A and B are shown apart, each in its own frame.
Chain A
């Protein structure tokens, strides 16, 4: 406990003592985290937008005439049993005719020509709002369509397919960009921490020569990395928050469509903490690797 307190105190003192190098390090950590943070935020909004649009995915299975009641019941149960389905309803031939009469009273004379309802019975299915399941929904519909009772299917899936494609592209691009930026971040921070340690190599050598244990030497440096990463993450979160507040005002005049597409209401806590945790982890890892390598390669006192 006493040792940890000393290490924390030492780390904070070192950070304050080498303000220039550490401010530079902090700035780089914040900037490199900010870029994936912005992308993550846009991706988050795109997700929400797609989910909102996906609430309207519907399919209508028109049934062949003369279907057996129990077979229709089995089909309804099967549809209802799916986790993808939000709501399912059955419209009989008579109800379809009544609905037509109600909605188009001026065309009732046409129906007078028929002794029975000319409309097919149908099963109306509403799916759950989850853009990720568009492919599953399509596959489910195709499966139900194979039932001998089904005459045809009407569905509004074309736009959903397009959105799913955009989402897929966005996810891939997001992952790809984030991975590249993360590697770049680690590389930059690793080198900044290495420079930071190199800058104080004399101090490390002195500590070694006066009989400090490895952990006594390493811990303050590790904590410095952790603290710098943590502060860098906080700063990136703060900058992202500021960008979210400022950008819509700008976008209002310039990018109306973008503003409609992206909901600039708030920064989700998840993204904020991701930035802070990633920053801390990168800071800690980078100083750990740098320190390990430096201590191994340190020239004799």
Chain B
């Protein structure tokens, strides 16, 4: 599903953010991407959804070399990937419904279909009762669930979450990971970047650990 071949990433006049990364993530896998701040987790995720280009190496997403996708066709890749951010990246002056519906609206889906999918997705993340609320009027935990709903409503093949629990307390963090686990169970490849080892220990999943841009651990879950 996702393959990295000798991938390097170097930002202008800085050290290598990623160095010789080789990895393969299969369809339907649940992976924790971990490492200290600045280890290269976000950079690796950005390379997957092509917000960044590798300085060297190749990345295959569903057998397609992502480095060869022209900017005009980038939307096709993005529609296969749902992304959840630590800072949510929601439109705060819009309702929960409007935020969740965006990925379907950009695809030109019909109003009735959008309505149906928004309702079922909000039910999945337990937010049906907040549908008409302004996003700025709901709690942080609820906002993160809106972001998850937005990420999965388009039925993506891959779900990427960059520190999705970074701003949440332990209880809410566990709840969010459980929701992501439920989504993963439907066959969506799920990659979660987190530096919260306690959280990783609670869920027995594959772990990929980065340190100073290098892949230092890649194995099935165990205490790290």
Chain A residues within 8 Å of B, Cβ to Cβ: 2-3, 6, 17, 202-203, 205-214, 216, 300-301
Contact = CB atoms under 8 A, between A and B. Distances in A.
A176 to B, nearest CB: 43
Contact of B46 (A205, A208, A212, A300): A300
B106 A2 contact: no
B89 A202 contact: yes
Interface residues of B, number: 24
A211 B76 CA distance: 7
A212 B91 CA distance: 15
A300 B52 contact: yes
B72 A209 contact: no
B154 A211 contact: yes
A2 B106 CA distance: 12
Contacts of A208: 78
Given A203-B91, A205-B89, A210 B154 contact: yes
A206 B89 contact: yes
A206 B77 CA distance: 15
30 contacts: A6-B105, A17-B93, A206-B89, A206-B90, A206-B91, A206-B102, A207-B102, A207-B106, A209-B83, A210-B78, A210-B102, A210-B106, A210-B150, A210-B154, A211-B75, A211-B77, A211-B79, A211-B103, A211-B106, A211-B107, A212-B75, A213-B75, A213-B106, A214-B75, A216-B106, A300-B51, A300-B52, A301-B51, A301-B83, A301-B85
A240 B163 CA distance: 57
Given A214-B72, A216-B106, A209 B154 contact: no
Interface in B71-101: 72, 75-79, 83, 85, 89-91, 93
A76 to B, nearest CB: 72
A50 B204 CA distance: 91
Interface centre among B51, B77, B106, B107 (most CB of A within 10 A): B106
B93 A210 contact: no
B32 interface: no
Interface string B102-138: 1101111000000000000000000000000000000
Contacts of A214: 72, 75
A231 B93 CA distance: 25
A17 B98 CA distance: 14
Contacts of B72: 214
B73 to A, nearest CB: 9
B78 A209 contact: yes
Nearest to A2: B108
Nearest to A217: B106
Contacts of B106: 207, 210-213, 216
Nearest to A216: B106
Contacts of A202: 89, 91
Given A2-B108, A17-B93, 7 more contacts: A206-B102, A208-B78, A209-B49, A209-B51, A216-B106, A300-B52, A301-B85
